[in-house]
Amino acid sequence: MESLLTPLVSFTDSVYMSIAKRVNHYKNFHQRIQGMVEKLEELKDTRDDLKREIERAEFQGLMSTKQIKGWLERVEKAEAEANLILAQPIKQLICCRQPSCRSRYRLSKKFLQKEAEISELITKKTTLDVLVQGSSQIDPVPCVPTVGLNSALEMAVQIIADDEAGMIGIYGIGGVGKTTLLKEINNEYISRTDEFEAVIWVTISQDFSLERIQRALISRLGLSFDAAECQEQLTSRIYNFMRRIKFLLLLDDLWQRLDLENIGIPLPDKTNRCKVVFTTRSMDVCSDMDANTKLKVDFLNEEHSWCLFCEKANQTDIINNSDLKPYAEAIVKRCGGLPLALITIGRAMANRKTEEEWKYAIEALDNAPSELRGMQDVFTILKFSYENLQDDTLKMCFLYCALFPGDYPLEKEQLIDYWIGEGYLDGSNEDSLHNKGHAVIGSLKVACLLECGEDDTQVKMHDIVRSFAVWIASNEGKNKEKVVVQGCSGLSELPDVNKWKVAEKISLLGNEIIILSAGPACLNLSSLLLHWNRSLSKISNEFFHYMPVLKVLDLSVTSIKEVPASIGQLVELRYLDLSRTKITALPENIGRLSKLRHLDLQRTDSLRKIPRKAILQLKNLRVLNLYYSYGEWDMSHDEGEGQIKFEDLQHLNLTALGITMTELSALTKLSSFYNILDCIQYFFIKGCEGLIYLMVATVYGGGERLRRLNIYDCCTLKEIDLGSEAGKDWLPSLEVLTLHALPNLTTIWRNSASPKCHKNLRYINIWYCPKLKNVSWILQLPRLEKLYVFYCEEIEEIIGENDVTGGSLELPFLSLKTISFRGLPKLKSISKVALSFPVLNTIALIECPQLKKLPSAAYNSSDFPIVYCSKDWWENLEWDNVAASSALHPQFIAI
């Protein structure tokens, strides 16, 4: 019996205890609420005390432990849950009803559980380490394996180690790898934990806000976060922490100046040895940020481009596939070393196995790159740079550069003339317009949308950037016929002119077009570029009938012999280039071009007739170039009837003139037309039988604007005076001096040149001047870049010893890049005194048998010049020291 009762009693006790607990929960409902509320308040007080402790400590360079951060997060969660539980009975009371017994029981149980949880949190706080001394904080940033950035990374690490470099700007075009390089820098310092206490990565972007950057910094530094803090409080807290640590701050994607002090970031200097490295697409941002050092991320070379493309195309067999490899190489070349393009197109070609597919990809890149998968993403990135240009002038000038083939050398001056012709640069002062044009080019280079050319006078546009510009100019590919660009495409005839109806710009330069026979209707066309079509020999009279708004027409370097009379219908034309053509006369109708501003006729050596009446009608003409051209200025009355005269030039409002003189009588007469002399920029003097002495610059100011002087085949000329009167700034604009076939020339400067003279003279060419003995005046040319002296039999020394010691220029030849001497049989010395050639890259010495030594000079040790000469001459050279021979020997090229 007892064995039966024992389980029953046990069951009864269990039920009783359960009921008792439930009754207890019900009876103590209000006490449970009160208990949890009190514990919650205690927890809040504990949290607030801790936050104040943390805030005080952070001013001393300390930071919270990860344990305490976790505790604060759990407190925040517990408080939210407790408030949620408390809201339930309050909600019932608001609804004028008491909680049911069942509801009271459940809520009472929750209150008790939450009170216990809160008590545990309060107890737990006392066992944690609250603060630690600031320690090295470097978190890796995800970064895919890179190609071709090793040298840039090494350079960046060297710069960061330099105490002189506190603010470092990394710049380059979008998609070139700036962010990738910055990631590599971040990850490089994971293994260099003793160099910085914190490496901090922050992405800025165009739509940044100071507060968002501050929040990111606080998170990265491990500081406590309070959403209620204002910007000034955040600034103070960040500054007081960061000023006590040595940090490397990495800022990605800056588009404008960022005021570091407003954020709370101490400025880096030699004392704190902190560093700020940022990436940007604009050199202006580097300057605005006061960067001590600027590091440009360049395009990849051919080898790295090929490796990156093959890696992304996922086709290792491309290298061994003789059918596909040529197409792959062509695509890589068109990408021009831009990593983003190589990656995008490589991925797009990953599954392409046939020749036809690869051929189509090349055609798409040439004609419609946006149709190739992924290229829209490339263009979107480049579009940020385009839209960030400060005004419409910059944007229009940038888009105009799309009319030329990718990587095509663009002469700055010609490009500016096009822009002026289009009306992008407006004004009456030609010098001011050209200055503004150079400023535009500078801004586009700063934005990395234009690149430096091979020569200082040139720029170029990257292939992919050009494709992007065409895409923008054609309304993002929606109106492809708006811009027709088929330069250097091997065309022998005009493309379909029926598609030109909506065209605004047409560029067909560098083709083999033979005839312009149609009369296309181009009602919106403003620029037509047909230069360098050497086979072009005829233009039909109908061709220009329907181009009512054409402003720029370039027909230079063609074989046309006459200009059709219909050119007179181009009433809006402002720029006309007929240089290097075979025309013999200008049509009378050219006088109807009342808005014509620029007429280029240079190197039209067949030109014999320029109708006076037509030229006098060109009231807006500002630039007339007859350099290496028309020279019939002193014909007899009958021969010259109706021909242009000096008096006519005087009546025009010219600001720039190129002119050719072939007769001494005309040259003498010209000297009395001061207004003409003042605007001559290009001067070609040929023949002029009887000319013995020539003074180029005169006391009344002639020669102020002269940029290029060429004197050729003046057999009687003995002396040229380029201006040597002390204190006078002679020929300040002269850039190129060419002296050719002057058999009796003995003197170029009567006295030694003044240091103020010819400060812009950069190129000197002296050919066939057999009596000339001295060119030591080149010492006084601070910007001299290229020197050519050919077939001057009497020259024994280029620079005499006395000329150097008596000279006043302390650092000669800081700009000299090329020295080329040929056919100088008596030349024994270039210079007996050591000179400085810091940028010299080419030396050519041919047929100079008595020259036994190269100039004793200080060269750029990192880039010795290439030496072109005969092998026998090189082997017989005498050296002052073995080191010079060893350094230059690898640069020797036998010819």
**Model pLDDT for residues 258-285, shown as the tens digit of each residue:** 999 999 999 999 888 999 999 999 999 9
Residue that is written with structure tokens 């700055």 in the block: 412
The CB-side HSE value for 788 (13 A sphere, CA atoms) comes to 13
Angle at 70 between CA 33 and CA 247, to 5 degrees: 145
Res. 370 pLDDT band, cuts 50 70 90: confident
> Quick one: average pLDDT of 1-30?
51
Write out pLDDT tens, residues 67-94: 777 888 888 888 888 788 777 665 554 4
| Portion of the chain with pLDDT greater than 90, in percent | 47
Q: Is the pLDDT score of 615 beyond 90?
A: yes
Report yes or no: 288 and 256 within 8 Å, Cβ to Cβ.
Answer: yes
Q: Please give the Cα distance from 551 to 526 (Å, whole number).
A: 5
597: left (phi over 0), alpha (psi -120 to 50) or beta: alpha
Q: Please give the Cα distance from 867 to 845 (Å, whole number).
A: 8
**pLDDT confidence of residue 493:** 93
Write out pLDDT tens, residues 188-219: 888 787 788 888 888 887 777 888 888 888 88
147: left (phi over 0), alpha (psi -120 to 50) or beta: beta
Environment class of 250 (CB within 10 Å of its CB; exposed 0-12, middle 13-18, buried 19+):
buried
Q: Is the pLDDT score of 695 beyond 70?
A: yes
Report yes or no: 89 and 99 within 8 Å, Cβ to Cβ.
Answer: yes
Q: Please give the Cα distance from 518 to 506 (Å, whole number).
A: 15
Q: Please give the Cα distance from 332 to 337 (Å, whole number).
A: 7
> Quick one: average pLDDT of 342-347?
90
The CB-side HSE value for 579 (13 A sphere, CA atoms) comes to 15
HEC assignment per residue over 257-284: CCCHHHHCCCCCCCCCCCEEEEEECCHH
Write out pLDDT tens, residues 802-832: 776 554 445 578 899 999 999 999 999 888 7
Distances (CA, A) of 316 to 331, 359, 413: 16, 19, 46
**Over the chain, what is the mean pLDDT?**
85
| E-strand stretches of 60-120 | 62-64
Tokens of residue 215, six digits: 């929040």
Res. 500 pLDDT band, cuts 50 70 90: very high
Residue that is written with structure tokens 């071709």 in the block: 148
**pLDDT confidence of residue 213:** 87
Q: Is the pLDDT score of 893 beyond 90?
A: no
Q: Is the pLDDT score of 239 beyond 70?
A: yes
Res. 455 pLDDT band, cuts 50 70 90: confident
Between 89 and 344, the higher pLDDT residue? 344
Tokens of residue 641, six digits: 């009837």
Tokens of residue 696, six digits: 């180029």
Closest CA to 567 of 722, 417, 188, 581: 581
Q: Please give the Cα distance from 558 to 578 (Å, whole number).
A: 8
Phi and psi at residue 645, in whole multiples of 5°?
Answer: -125, 165
Tokens of residue 765, six digits: 């060419």
Res. 597 pLDDT band, cuts 50 70 90: very high
For the CA atoms of 91, 97, 101, 106, what is the dihedral angle to 10 degrees? 0
Q: Please give the Cα distance from 778 to 799 (Å, whole number).
A: 8
Write out pLDDT tens, residues 763-801: 999 999 999 988 888 888 889 999 999 999 999 999 877
| Portion of the chain with pLDDT greater than 70, in percent | 86
Ranking 5-9, 461-465, 665-669, 712-716 by mean pLDDT, the lowest is: 5-9
**Residues in the chain, overall count:** 895
